[in-house]
Amino acid sequence: MKLTKTAPGDRAHIGGLSADEVAQRVAAGQVNTMPDRSGRSVGDIVRANVFTRINAILGVLFALVAATGSFINGLFGLLIVANSGIGIIQEIRAKRTLDRLAIVGQTHPKVRRDGVVAELVPGEVVLDDIIEVGAGDQIVVDGEVVESLALDVDESLLTGEADAIDKFPGDKILSGSFVVSGSGAYRATKVGADAYAAQLAAEASKFTLVSSELRSGIDQILKVITWLLIPAGILTIINQVFISQNGWRASLLGMVAALVPMVPEGLVLMTSIAFAVGVVRLGRRQCLVNELPAIEGLARVNVVCADKTGTLTENGMRLSEVRGLPDDTAADAGSGWDTSRAEQVLAALAATDRSPNASVAALAEAYPSAPDWQLSAIEPFTSAKKWSGMSFVDATGADRGNWILGAPDVLLDPDSAPARQASEIGESGLRVLLLGHTDVPVDTTPADGANVPGTLVPTALVVLEQRVRDDARATLDYFASQHVDVKVISGDNARSVGAVAQSLGLGSPDAAVDARTLPTDIDALADVVENGVIFGRVRPDQKRAMVAALQSRDDTVAMTGDGVNDVLALKDADIGVAMGSGSSAARSVAQIVLLDNKFATLPYVVGEGRRVIGNIERVSNLFLTKTVYAVLLALFVGVAGLAGKIFGFDSLSYPFQPIHVTISAWFTIGIPAFILSLAPNNERARTGFVKRVLRQAVPNGIIVGLCAFITYVIVNPGGKGVTLGGDGVDLPPAQTQAATATLICLIAVALYVLAVVARPYTWWKLLLLAVSVGAYVIIFAWPWTQTMFKLDSSNWQMNSVAFIAAAVGIVCVEIVSRVMPRIIVSDGGGHHHDLHSVAAVHDSTIKE
């Protein structure tokens, strides 16, 4: 590669814009302004939460009740306020959390102004700014290269082109691409919305709930419910208005009472709250969620592919020692290279590297004073070739050698003494680099089949220490306890990686796989990757292939990384997790960024996802059970009313008023669902959400509906006698007693459904159940609440029927709770589990 090219002319490429020039461009609006991080303004959030399908349905039903003058029966209208208000508050909190974290986690390009380089936020870049870039940096705006030092740019995320592209002065460079190797500078030619990748970047970073099985499943259920409302509503209207002849006020109240419980009014709210609270909770742990469905995705993960450096070990390294090697080219074959000379070369390499990686940074720290050498040729480090090189001359022009620093097992014959020595050192968990020199400049094209130019002469082994993270062992133990496989995938020597992993209780050096021996066939690769744990010398394209191989076996893969070599694998993984201190390219493609750089944060992220998914599944059972029994009860009453009209026996009107169905949901669904949606839950999420929920909710809903209907048929007093009261409508005492008894049966069975869903029990769940039962005892026994809610529990003959029917219903619910999970397991193979047989895992708490 050519050492350096610089665009001629234009002074701006030397020192950048002046303060006055920047001010002129800001005044002209030529600034790299981008949309809000969350993609939705506060106004958008308010509109999205107020104008919903469920609010529209409830609003129409409330208007009908208001027309009767019975405002106590319109109490369900408060759900509109609750749905909208709570949703708005939680989503705004989540938006602010995302915006705050995005400022911390965003790329900070290095911009030249007035001859000084400063890090700015992307939004402060203006047209014609000169931006310096190095390996791993993301291109933040479109531009034109003005300086190039072996600059290679990867545009695969934009164009699909797999190979990195050499960039020279005058070449175009696109935002959204990233630097693979080398360094340089470019002038901003398009900023803000004009940039090539601006729209893609804005779309990728929106606060969104799309592409989620959970959300799409709930949407499917809501569509079905909407269609069910039509026939059930028509049948109820016919029965109430034309058959029962209760008058238009009572008929409207009966119709509304039948339709309100069919609407799962809290399901969407609970889902939104659960996701939004998840964002806020993760934000407190310095975890930025770039795409909200990632919370759900991590809950489904069963394989975590983790890089060693920066994940299991600390990012920084420290020089341990430099070992001189025998000079086989010298006249005296027993003589060795002078260690001080090797150290002089290492100091020059570190001082000259404009984009040092962790290894070179450790050398720079160890050797702060460098010789006055000038660079004559350079070959940047890439993950594919595993080495970098520089050629030097001194101030007089005298040759100071062509030096290469890289992986010993790649550069050396494995049977050579230096290679064996490096391997022995690496097996102790230390990182080993080889310093060597060649007889030709490092940018000389190697001969066919060769990895390095010219003849390489080993000079010294450079030994670096890597400190294992204190929290790495506990994190790996957590994943093991959760049956999540961890694969360590690294570009370092396989045995060295194996030694580090073994110190953490994961695999061994002998079992480590050298990626250079991996097959290319996807099936064969999948076999090796599934059975292996530790992989070394992995190229970036192999990381990507390994992710694809695991996905071909129906694994849900999370990939962690921080370097430019991790970008493609992060992008292809089901969930990409980047470290906050990693390259800007890695952070830009990851769905989740750990801003605190702690691998130990990942269990909390996984736990948060499992809490969201598992709890929404639980509360979905409650809401859909209510919908099923409401539809069923309306259909039963409607059909019975039609049959009575045809065959001449007493017809049935709907037993409840709207206030009855409102209070029936308070402590069987509403309050318990809110609490359960925020509770700890650590069961791994599984596919088939809709099918699994319906298999629980439909039988339970049928049982509740049948028990309530049978109770009402038995206790129904027949006859009419509706009168107008102070708040619109009063039913005769017998009718109120029958409605009360039917409501007792319905609530009793619904409470047992709640008890089943709440399993396995903890102290707070038992308290929740006790409070729910106690609240209904007060409502049905206290004269003031009986009057307020139009109840009459004085007829114990009717109440006895209700309790007997409820007991039968409870037994049926218990049978269903035991039988259905076994059906799910038999249908779903090994991936499904009894929801209530994994108590040890289901409610294990990740302590905050």
Structural contact between residues 319 and 299, judged by C-beta atoms closer than 8 angstroms = no
* CA 363 and chain centroid, separation: 37
| Pairing state between β 431-438 and 399-406 | antiparallel
Single-letter amino acid code for the residue at 346: L
Q: Supply the DSSP string of 766-806, one letter for each residue.
A: HHHHHHHHHHHHHHHH-HHHHHHTT-----HHHHHHHHHHH
* Beta bridge pairs of residue 17: 113
Other C-beta atoms lying within 10 Å of the C-beta of residue 43: 8
Amino acid at 376: S
Tell the burial category of 828 from Cβ atoms under 10 Å away from its Cβ (0-12, 13-18, 19+).
middle
Integer Cα distance of 678 and 281 in angstroms: 11
Q: Which residues contact 322 (CB under 8 A, 6 or more apart)?
A: 339, 342, 343, 346, 435, 460, 461, 462, 463
Radius of gyration of the chain (CA): 35
Contact 451/411 with Cβ under 8 angstroms? yes
Query: Helix (H, G, I), strand (E, B), or coil: what is residue 579?
Result: strand
298 and 592 Cβ atoms separated by less than 8 Å: yes
DSSP state of 331: S
Letter for the amino acid at 516? R
Q: Which of 307, 409, 574, 843 is catalytic?
A: 307
DSSP code for 29: T
Rounded Cα distance, 92 and 242, in Å: 48
Q: Is 307 a catalytic residue?
A: yes
Picking from 225, 201, 187, the residue whose alpha carbon sits closest to that of residue 30 is 187
Q: What is the four-CA torsion angle of 680, 686, 688, 689, rounded to 10 degrees?
A: 10
Measured distance CA(735)–CA(745) in Å, rounded: 16
Return the SS3 of 582: coil
Contacts with 616 (C-beta within 8 Å, 6 or more apart), sequence order: 214, 270, 271, 274, 677
Three-state DSSP state, 340: helix
Residue 242 to residue 220: CA distance in whole angstroms: 34
Which tokens sit at 455?
Answer: 């003849």
Count of helices and strands (H, E) across the chain: 30, 22
Residues that are catalytic? 307
